Structure 1
């Protein structure tokens, strides 16, 4: 199992593992920052984990040679029959897929959706690009006066990075090049690669909601199995194992996204204007929420990628000054654990809203009040999430019992059925 980034392991990967741990043994291939996580360390006591391989994420040259050598060695040693993988497009995924085809040609490959599938794909990647531009300008302040030149540098760097990681280095290591389904730097799709993945007899994609499955099909994926997110049946067990018994409390949990403030700055806003505007809108929203839910505690947590963002740290300081009882949760903590304990979950376009709606039994609110480009994406989730475009609507909102409409397919049953294994 290659479950992807640590924060998405807690979104999805851990629940697949928990659903399958009594029926299968696991070799986990994870980034090296997993070693620093105390919750992940607790999982290592579970007998079904045969081995954990911590792969490096730093080192432009050496990590390619590491992936090539180590993934080959692991596959030769364990000869897995099933591969659970979070993505097929990053170059570490490509190395793993390459060697599974060479060493374990009959392996059954499941790519599982480990986060929300973007329904506004161009806006999502425009936000990522804006974050890159903003970070570059912070490093080279002179570029503050030449934002278009900074954008050109980012685009050229992304092109060079793609050629280096997917063409040049694989030529040195395996004497072939990679053609991933998605260019993870630009968001461009490779239709031929997707068709190859989809038409292979032993490749499957596990997904949860009809609107997101529609997008996968639009991009060319055809071998999709719709299941219920494994968190639905295992979340309580997982959280009890990691933290002990817990109860839901009267808490309003604020979960902003990352990247969207960067797009405002790219569009000509100053950092101070963004801070004032976004903090002001959040203050209005929080005041309305406290009036609607009197007596509720108030917590907020930034996205892990925003931990060192001066714009978001300034916004959080303003919110703390306005609402002294606001508890700021460290960005590196597991958002899903705090969602499980809270009754009201509020964000903008955060994937945590998606997760909270799948969890069920929560009041989940998306605020499209900040003027973010692409800030209206959650309108496509109106069956699961309250989509709000102005503060007055928030004040008069009549909460409905919204829940995820999903099929009741357990992940273990799906895998056993497809593989024709006893269950």
Structure 2
């Protein structure tokens, strides 16, 4: 009996949890029918009724706790260190979030973009009604509300102090979230797109950060175009709640009152401090009269029903709305006040009707269907008149509409949009088709295979003379060289003399040597499956050219001044066959310029050190699964010395590991590029470690190595290198004399 094929995985960010039932719940319900959904949940939110229902019904495979958004430092650390490992473990085909503006969303998308192949990065509208209001206007209104709240806590402060303090605090937070903390943890700042406290959009460039935006109507599209310049990435879909009867039943949320009640969701907030004297009381009476008339009219249309009155949690301290509540409770029979902390969605599930002004929940109720939904454009609420753009909502614009409420019709639905599960496969197919283009910081095999040969390229080898149906080799060995006439023969002999030679292809990449190296290559052309010689852009570029030519399941790189023991590749491949490791590494014999040598053992416990410095993962001994290059990219071309460290650290951060093969080894001659440019190589290593999230440890390690090397060179000059070497060997961990 064959096991069912594993389903692709989608990583879904559940934040913000207070809006989870508005859209995220229905997205997960739909996606869970075809994908394994892994849900990111702020700590403490695992008991949310919607999340419990999704787990119970098998629509979510697992939940992963992350720090609360209020824990800024912890959230930055989680995004920099834990998120890459999580992404590497679950290997999602898509990462879905409701926002891309905040630092955590950007960090998660950036980590996702580092995977190979990179998942589709999707932003969906969470369903709040105010998204069609210009975002900068919304920010200004929110900021004014916060400034007033801060001013109430500073009653003795001079005018303007609250505003100044709010702006200073916002500026500090802005720079911490986008510059200081990302630099400390990853070595790279985040590109800001929104400055909340300044109330402005900083940048509309989202290419390379977001692959697709999902929204539900033309109003949403226009709102998104204020935040992104990538119009082609915006897609209209039918909101998943539209056909969500089964999903709602699965919630099993207890009704917030009698079934069939009228749920009233006022969202109006008043800057009552700006009203002179008792003007706020007069305003409250006016608002109460309007609400009473509206609720009476709805009762007249639907019949006598209880009223559940629920204020938004942020309005509970508003004296205007407090007085409105008192007046309505005294005037209307069957009027029940619901605590503001109660979720509106659980009231709506059992409601007979829903009424509000611009409450975010009435849009949710309209999409859910099954009950009349009214929007009262009576209170001069910004954006209130625009609620008519949402299908299923009956607009009430004044006293005349209240008088003829029974004759009003809801806004009709527009043209049918594709369902989520109709659009998503197309988006994934398009994304995968475009995945051959380089993304992130690392070039890809496909990019190199598409490159046209350099006009000066010379090439040859025996591959073209062998049968086309010859099976792919188990191992590909790549030698790169430039002006390596003195050492190349020994390197070639060591590759041809190893035990796995019959199952190995040998590739040589030359950087247009001028010293007779090409004479050796032509003389020994039959020893290479393929060789080429052309100008290159450095060591990384040469590595990448060789890997793009390789066909073996495993890839080893042996430079032209190195040699390999006869049994090493056989043992390394066997170790990889017997494990799930991404690469194997061994011990290294280092030959000094004066002819002496020492052995440097590989470090099986390398994971303790790799975050701050290149541990003893000796590159001449590293044998990597070719799939690692296919998934996670090739060597970075902007690095001159430590490209091997960056690649192995990248694998480590993405959840991959290596296996040590003790006993056999490679032989490496000192005097290479990294040895001649020790300070530059160490500095480059420090930058890589800092960018990966350990700047403090990287700087400390760099300082130690610079001081050590400077001290040694000074002692070499004063007392001679032989005596210094003997003293140094006494304290050098992991070294022993070569027998």
Instruction: Place the TM-score, normalised by the shorter chain, in its bin.
Output: 0.7 to 0.9
Cα distance between partner residues in 2 of 1:230 and 1:186: 34
Correspondence for 2:22 among 6, 11, 14 = 11
- How far apart are 1:81 and its partner, in Å? 1.8
Partner of 1:125: 139
Cα distance between partner residues in 2 of 1:104 and 1:265: 55
27 and 309 in structure 1: CA distance in 2 versus 1, 3 angstrom threshold: farther
Partner of 2:164: 152
Q: Is the 2:363–2:390 Cα contact (8 Å) retained in structure 1?
A: no
3 and 337 in structure 1: CA distance in 2 versus 1, 3 angstrom threshold: same
Gaps of 5+ in 1: none
Cα distance between partner residues in 1 of 2:114 and 2:297: 58
Partner of 2:530: none
Cα distance between partner residues in 1 of 2:324 and 2:45: 29
Partner of 2:4: none
Correspondence for 1:322 among 314, 331, 341 = 331
Partner of 1:171: 183
Partner of 2:565: none
Aligned to 2:45, what secondary structure does the other structure show?
helix
Q: Is the 2:281–2:323 Cα contact (8 Å) retained in structure 1?
A: no
Partner of 2:213: 205
Cα distance between partner residues in 2 of 1:355 and 1:403: 16
Question: Which entry has the higher C-alpha Rg, 1 or 2?
Answer: 2
Q: Is the 2:375–2:393 Cα contact (8 Å) retained in structure 1?
A: yes
122 and 99 in structure 1: CA distance in 2 versus 1, 3 angstrom threshold: closer
Correspondence for 2:265 among 238, 249, 255 = 255
Correspondence for 1:338 among 344, 347, 370 = 347
Q: Is the 1:361–1:403 Cα contact (8 Å) retained in structure 2?
A: no
Q: CA RMSD in A?
A: 3.0
Aligned to 1:286, what secondary structure does the other structure show?
helix
Is 1:84 matched up with 2:96?
A: yes
Cα distance between partner residues in 2 of 1:240 and 1:292: 27
Partner of 1:51: 63
Residue pairs, 1:384-399, within 5 angstroms: 384-397=392-405, 398-399=407-408
Partner of 2:247: 238
Partner of 2:236: 226
Cα distance between partner residues in 2 of 1:307 and 1:32: 26
Q: Deviations over 1:248-281 (max 9, x none)?
A: 96432211126x324x545768765554443343
Residue pairs, 1:60-79, within 5 angstroms: 60-79=72-91
Cα distance between partner residues in 2 of 1:123 and 1:273: 27
- How far apart are 1:112 and its partner, in Å? 0.9
187 and 411 in structure 1: CA distance in 2 versus 1, 3 angstrom threshold: farther
Aligned to 1:103, what secondary structure does the other structure show?
coil
Partner of 2:123: 111
Cα distance between partner residues in 2 of 1:167 and 1:377: 40
Q: Deviations over 1:265-305 (max 9, x none)?
A: 45768765554443343234333433444312211222244
Gaps of 5+ in 2: 1-11, 431-739
Which stretch shows the higher mean deviation, 37-46 or 70-79?
37-46
Correspondence for 1:217 among 225, 237, 243 = 225
Aligned to 2:353, what secondary structure does the other structure show?
strand
Aligned to 1:84, what secondary structure does the other structure show?
strand
Which stretch shows the higher mean deviation, 345-354 or 60-69?
60-69
142 and 32 in structure 1: CA distance in 2 versus 1, 3 angstrom threshold: farther
Aligned to 1:18, what secondary structure does the other structure show?
helix
Is 1:2 matched up with 2:13?
A: yes
Aligned to 2:261, what secondary structure does the other structure show?
strand
Aligned to 2:418, what secondary structure does the other structure show?
coil
Correspondence for 1:193 among 196, 200, 205 = 205
Q: Is the 2:353–2:373 Cα contact (8 Å) retained in structure 1?
A: yes
Q: Deviations over 1:186-216 (max 9, x none)?
A: 4422445335546xxxx11111112221232
- How far apart are 1:84 and its partner, in Å? 1.0
- How far apart are 1:307 and its partner, in Å? 4.9
142 and 378 in structure 1: CA distance in 2 versus 1, 3 angstrom threshold: farther
Cα distance between partner residues in 1 of 2:63 and 2:47: 17
- How far apart are 1:94 and its partner, in Å? 1.5
- How many residues get paired? 410
Cα distance between partner residues in 2 of 1:104 and 1:217: 29
186 and 404 in structure 1: CA distance in 2 versus 1, 3 angstrom threshold: farther
Which of the pair has the greater relative contact order for Cα pairs under 8 Å at 6+ separation?
Answer: 1
Partner of 1:181: 193
Q: Is the 1:67–1:95 Cα contact (8 Å) retained in structure 2?
A: yes
Correspondence for 2:416 among 400, 407, 413 = 407
Q: Deviations over 1:4-50 (max 9, x none)?
A: 21221100001010001121112211222413534433433344423
Cα distance between partner residues in 1 of 2:373 and 2:274: 29
Cα distance between partner residues in 1 of 2:317 and 2:41: 23
Cα distance between partner residues in 1 of 2:68 and 2:36: 24
Cα distance between partner residues in 2 of 1:311 and 1:36: 34
Cα distance between partner residues in 2 of 1:46 and 1:343: 26
